[in-house]
């Protein structure tokens, strides 16, 4: 809850005004039964119409003042809670974008989505509720008890005896509810993950007729969520019935005692009428307090999950030059004996060592799972190396700020995303790029012809994930995006796999012609995509088993030669 308080601190003055207004309205409301008792006991017996009208109008004015104050305070509370939750969501989303790949893997994407949406919603509701009822309910409770003690201490004490039992019940039930709601949110994360996976893979699911299988998988997760919600709800819903039972016991006791006291002339009917109104107010305040405890358990669970992300320490930090000094080299990119493992127990890459000159071309080829994309992730510093070092321009990438590092790159990944906007905006991607740069990028990427074939050209609207264009068209849009910023290093990670051989060949010719000063790294499954590279790395189980030119590898690397012959029979058609 410290996170909630930190975000509420800037609103302390607005909240103070709102709470002051709420206090005024509640105190005025608290005196209404007392005024009614005064009218019945002292004014009516005088049979003065003027006094009755005066006190009646006073009650109306007090009721209107209480109503207006509550409305004003509630509107202020709604505004504070709205801006508060907006700030939390903004910072949570910003932190999510800046999480390292390793931290994002630990949290999981569905869980991060749930924290930004469901968890912030729970916190938003509690902040609004605590401003509306956090002051009103205690004032009605304490004020009602104080006034009833003055009016009839014997009846008031009968009611007060019930209150400790209510507070103890609410406290222990709420304490048990927090971990239950955390478990509910974990189940929500799992459900979101399944929905997310099924939406992304809907075409594959239909093509393989796996609708029933996915229904079963979803139902299993859905039932687990219902089970957790039922358990949490059963525990927390016990608050209201227990409190109602205890309050009704108190009411019965008060009524029985008040009847006896009136009969014995120890009290009067007017006092009992006012007393019962106060008892109703006290009962309502207890109901509101119990609701706040229920909402608190949800808020506490959600606030903890939000704080886990916001307070997550960056494991990718900018290091000092003293710890990681520059090296003297005429190569643009250097991998120096790099090893890396996603987990401490297993190395996915072992002893990767190579150098590439500025403007040079590197091809990386190998079987699925051989570590091709992992090399790219390390170069982009999505993860830090376990052993060794990576240098760009002689500088260890660990000493470069993210802004300095990433502006060097243009990347097109196999599974990059397209968002629901025009082709132009998908290529521009929020950057300050001229139309000439964008047009030139599409020409190099072999995308200009098919873009211009649309009636609205670059203003053609793409669906989410580019489902309304072909796989090859989508890849060419992504390559255009990577080229448009004129990067120092261009990375194409299996980004031409959907292109036909002719288009792929034209793309490579255009890249060679127009990007002479750009260092190009191509990750591919096809030998034809990397055969013209200055240096080709052949990977197997995270190790380099061959390195050199196409001709050198054909003669000296059995695995490369087998790949080449299996794909093209050793010959290539341009």
> Three-state SS across 538-570?
EEECCEEEEEECHHHHHHHCHHHHHHHHHHHCC
* CA–CA dist 289, 283 (Å, integer): 10
- Alpha-carbon distances, residue 478 vs 158, 271, 412 (angstroms): 75, 79, 6
Can you give the pTM of this predicted structure?
A: 0.68
| 299 and 447 together in one domain | no
50 found inside a domain:
no
CATH number at residue 339: 3.40.50.300
User: Among residues 266, 287, 310, which one ends one of the domains?
Assistant: 310
Backbone angles phi, psi at 344, to 5 degrees: -65, -25
| 428 and 301 together in one domain | no
User: Among residues 310, 331, 356, which one ends one of the domains?
Assistant: 310
| 389 and 511 together in one domain | yes
According to DSSP, residue 311 is labeled T
pLDDT tier for residue 178 given thresholds of 50, 70 and 90? low
12 found inside a domain:
no
| 467 and 521 together in one domain | no
User: Among residues 454, 486, 518, which one ends one of the domains?
Assistant: 486
132 found inside a domain:
yes
Q: What's the whole-number mean pLDDT along residues 495-509?
A: 83
109-121 per-position pLDDT tens digit:
778 888 888 888 8
The pLDDT mean for the chain works out to 82
57 found inside a domain:
no
Q: Is the pLDDT of residue 397 over 90?
A: yes
> Which strands, in side-by-side order, build the sheet including 519-524?
409-413, 489-493, 519-524, 361-366, 535-540, 543-548
| 160 and 126 together in one domain | yes
Q: Is the pLDDT of residue 574 over 60?
A: no
Higher pLDDT, 442 or 34: 442
> Residue 333's pLDDT is what?
93
358 found inside a domain:
yes
| 262 and 382 together in one domain | no
* CA–CA dist 483, 409 (Å, integer): 9
Torsion-angle region of 559 (φ positive above 0: left; ψ -120 to 50: alpha; else: beta):
alpha
| 216 and 117 together in one domain | yes
Number of structural domains in the chain: 3
226-260 per-position pLDDT tens digit:
888 788 777 767 766 777 777 777 777 777 777 77
CATH number at residue 289: 1.20.1560.10
262-307 per-position pLDDT tens digit:
777 776 677 777 777 777 777 777 777 777 777 777 788 888 888 8
298 found inside a domain:
yes
160 found inside a domain:
yes
* CA–CA dist 352, 339 (Å, integer): 6
Q: Is the pLDDT of residue 429 over 80?
A: yes
| 524 and 482 together in one domain | no
Supply the DSSP string of 427-486, one letter for each residue. Answer: HHTTS---HHHHHHHHHHTT-HHHHHHSTTGGGPBPPGGGTTS-HHHHHHHHHHHHHHT-
| 281 and 330 together in one domain | no
> Residue 572's pLDDT is what?
44
96 found inside a domain:
yes
| 170 and 250 together in one domain | yes
| 512 and 366 together in one domain | yes
Torsion-angle region of 229 (φ positive above 0: left; ψ -120 to 50: alpha; else: beta):
alpha
Q: Is the pLDDT of residue 573 over 60?
A: no
Q: What's the whole-number mean pLDDT along residues 532-549?
A: 91
Higher pLDDT, 341 or 466: 341
As a whole number of Å, the CA-based R_g of the chain is 35
| 163 and 302 together in one domain | yes
Q: Domain span at residue 355?
A: 316-408+488-568
């Amino acid at each position: 809850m410290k996170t909630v308080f930190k975000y509420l601190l800037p609103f302390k003055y607005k909240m103070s005004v709102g709470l002051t207004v709420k206090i005024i309205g509640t105190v005025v409301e608290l005196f209404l039964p007392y005024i009614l008792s005064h009218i019945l006991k002292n004014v009516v017996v005088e049979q003065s119409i003027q006094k009755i009208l005066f006190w009646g109008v006073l009650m109306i004015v007090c009721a209107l003042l209480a109503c207006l104050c509550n409305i004003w305070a509630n509107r202020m509370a709604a505004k504070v809670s709205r801006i508060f939750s907006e700030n939390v969501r903004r910072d949570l989303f910003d932190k999510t974008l800046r999480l390292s790949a390793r931290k994002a893997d630990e949290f999981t994407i569905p869980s991060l989505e749930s924290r930004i949406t469901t968890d912030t919603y729970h916190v938003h509701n509690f902040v609004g509720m605590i401003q509306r009822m956090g002051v009103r309910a205690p004032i009605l409770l304490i004020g009602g008890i104080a006034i009833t003690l003055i009016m009839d201490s014997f009846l008031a004490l009968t009611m007060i005896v019930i209150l400790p039992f209510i507070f103890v019940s609410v406290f222990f039930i709420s304490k048990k509810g927090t971990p239950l709601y955390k478990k509910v949110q974990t189940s929500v994360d799992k459900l979101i993950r399944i929905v997310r996976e099924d939406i992304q893979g809907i075409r594959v699911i239909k093509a393989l007729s796996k609708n029933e299988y996915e229904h079963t998988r979803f139902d299993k997760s859905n039932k687990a969520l219902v089970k957790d919600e039922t358990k949490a709800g059963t525990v927390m819903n016990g608050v209201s019935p227990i409190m109602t039972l205890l309050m009704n016991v108190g009411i019965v006791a008060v009524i029985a005692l008040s009847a006896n006291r009136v009969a014995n002339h120890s009290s009067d009917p007017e006092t009992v009428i006012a007393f019962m109104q106060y008892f109703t107010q006290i009962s309502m305040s207890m109901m509101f307090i119990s609701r706040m405890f229920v909402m608190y358990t949800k808020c506490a669970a959600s606030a903890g999950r939000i704080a886990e992300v916001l307070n997550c320490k960056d494991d990718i930090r900018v290091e000092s030059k003293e710890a990681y000094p520059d090296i003297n080299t005429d190569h643009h990119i250097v991998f120096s004996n790099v090893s890396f493992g996603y987990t401490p127990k297993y190395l996915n890459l072992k002893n990767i060592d190579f150098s590439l000159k500025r403007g040079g071309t590197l091809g990386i080829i190998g079987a699925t799972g051989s570590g091709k994309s992992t090399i790219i992730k390390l170069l982009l510093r999505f993860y830090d190396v376990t052993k060794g070092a990576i240098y760009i321009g002689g500088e260890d990438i660990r000493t470069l700020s993210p802004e300095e590092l990433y502006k060097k790159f243009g990347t097109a990944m196999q599974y990059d995303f397209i968002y629901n906007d025009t082709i132009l905006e998908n290529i521009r991607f929020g950057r300050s790029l001229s139309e000439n740069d964008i047009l030139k990028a599409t020409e190099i990427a072999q995308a200009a012809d098919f873009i211009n074939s649309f009636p609205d050209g670059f203003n053609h609207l793409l669906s989410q994930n580019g489902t309304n264009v072909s796989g090859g068209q989508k890849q060419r849009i992504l390559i255009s995006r990577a080229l448009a910023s004129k990067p120092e290093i261009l990375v194409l990670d299996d980004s031409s796999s959907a292109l036909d051989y002719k288009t792929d060949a034209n793309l490579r010719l255009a890249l060679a012609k127009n990007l002479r000063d750009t260092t190009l790294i191509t990750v591919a499954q096809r030998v034809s995509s990397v055969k013209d590279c200055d240096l080709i790395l052949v990977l197997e189980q995270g190790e380099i088993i061959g390195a050199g030119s196409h001709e050198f590898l054909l003669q000296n690397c059995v695995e490369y030669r087998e790949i080449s012959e299996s794909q093209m029979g050793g010959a290539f058609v341009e």
